[in-house]
Amino acid sequence: MGTKDTDLSNTESNTTTSDSEVKPNIAFIGLGNMGAPMAENLLKAGYTLSVYDLSADATQRLEQAGASVADSPKSAASNAQVVISMLPAGKHVHSVYLGDSGDNGLLAELPKGTLVIDSSTIAAADARLVAEAASKFDIDFLDAPVSGGTGGAIAGSLTFIVGGSAEAFAKAEPILAVMGKNIFHAGEHGAGQVAKICNNMLLGILMAGTAEAINLGVKNGLDPKVLSDIMLQSSGRNWTLEVYNPYPKVLENVPSSNGYKGGFMSKLMQKDLNLAMQTAKDTDVETPMGAKATELYEAHARDNGDRDFSSIMAHHDHSVLS
Ligand code: NAD
């Protein structure tokens, strides 16, 4: 139980690059829409990967790309100095690392000094719980949620928002740099998750507000493009107007001009808003605008969960879906 020592820079079986930099072996757990392309980018950069997912389809894709497939998280990590996970939600992260009794998960099996990077979006409180358990086994844990969606995962241009010790962050940075363009150290354990949900709460508010403003203009006879251009040059300017307009055909190459397909699903926005609300409640912080955006997305995601989150436009004007 956590008795072997691991050294990220000194393992005989690790891959050595031409400039004699030693790359740690990586176990990658969770190979879905985000995890699979992230793992593929690590393989392309020359890392040796052992992967695990509950879905055989997911692991097959990575096997073809050059990873070895393991039949459990423990066996994926058996020769790894770094573990990365990209799982749906907090309960999956708990189950992998803590097991069903809290101390019979992967953490209990890893050698001391293993670096664990969890990039799933989960509650900050859940991330802190896993970090605390990890520290009991002398394992470095980082919460490292991402922004940038599946496009960013494929392009290797994600933003990583990391919480944990400066030492662990320094070890993780070169690995994260393979999968992302901007790597931020937000603070101690949980800080990555807090920063991520603050950003996504604001994004949900901005998207809901932009859709509401455009709808008000359109219902009063304005052309959505003319109104958007005016607001873009005025004080209502924001990211959603600039690069992600929710009204169809105002911008090209955005989900609203493509039947709200692709992009960032409404159900994922709903999940992140719920995490923001949970954090606000746990810490007794008022978030009235976030609460309203959560209410809107909860109602919207019931029938539109798989549509891009800009489809909140349909809450005001159902005709945009046709
Ligand atoms: P996904 O559902 O496509 O993939 C999750 C994968 O985890 C699946 O392949 C599933 O089989 C696997 N899995 C579930 N439980 C497991 C377990 N116990 N052991 C091993 N594998 C297990 O989800 P995704 O879109 O890749 O998202 C992953 C995380 O990234 C989520 O927390 C999400 O909120 C976050 N995120 C997603 C996006 C996005 O645009 N999709 C953007 C930013 C952040």
Contact of 29 with 86, CB cutoff 8 Å: yes
Catalytic residue among 23, 171, 196, 271: 196
Q: Which pLDDT does position 7 carry in this prediction?
A: 53
Contact of 277 with 231, CB cutoff 8 Å: no
Decide: 78 in ligand 1 pocket, CB within 6 A. Answer: no
Q: In the chain, what are the domains? A: 15-187 (3.40.50.720), 195-321 (1.10.1040.10)
Q: What pairs with residue 182 in β-bridges?
A: 159
Rounded-to-integer distance, Cα 248 and Cα 255, Å:
8
Asked if 292 is an active-site residue, the reply is no
For the cut 50, the answer to whether the pLDDT of residue 4 exceeds it is no
For the cut 60, the answer to whether the pLDDT of residue 19 exceeds it is no
Q: Which pLDDT does position 20 carry in this prediction?
A: 54
**Which pTM does this prediction carry?**
0.91
For the cut 50, the answer to whether the pLDDT of residue 9 exceeds it is no
Tokens 């992998």 belong to 96
Given phi > 0 = left and psi -120 to 50 = alpha, else beta, which region is 113?
left
Decide: 62 in ligand 1 pocket, CB within 6 A. Answer: no
Q: Which pLDDT does position 262 carry in this prediction?
A: 86
Number of CB atoms found within 10 A of residue 12's CB = 6
Decide: 152 in ligand 1 pocket, CB within 6 A. Answer: no
Average pLDDT over residues 135-150: 95
Question: Could you tell me the distance, in angstroms and rounded to a whole number, from the CA of residue 191 to the centre of ligand 1?
Answer: 20
The 3 state secondary structure assigned to 225-252 is HHHHHHHHCCCCCCHHHHHCCCCCCCCC
Question: Could you tell me the distance, in angstroms and rounded to a whole number, from the CA of residue 299 to the centre of ligand 1?
Answer: 23
Q: Which pLDDT does position 5 carry in this prediction?
A: 52
Mean pLDDT, the chain, rounded, equals 93
Q: Which pLDDT does position 103 carry in this prediction?
A: 85
Rounded-to-integer distance, Cα 99 and Cα 320, Å:
45
What is the DSSP track for 273-306?
HHHHHHHHHHTT---HHHHHHHHHHHHHHHHHTT
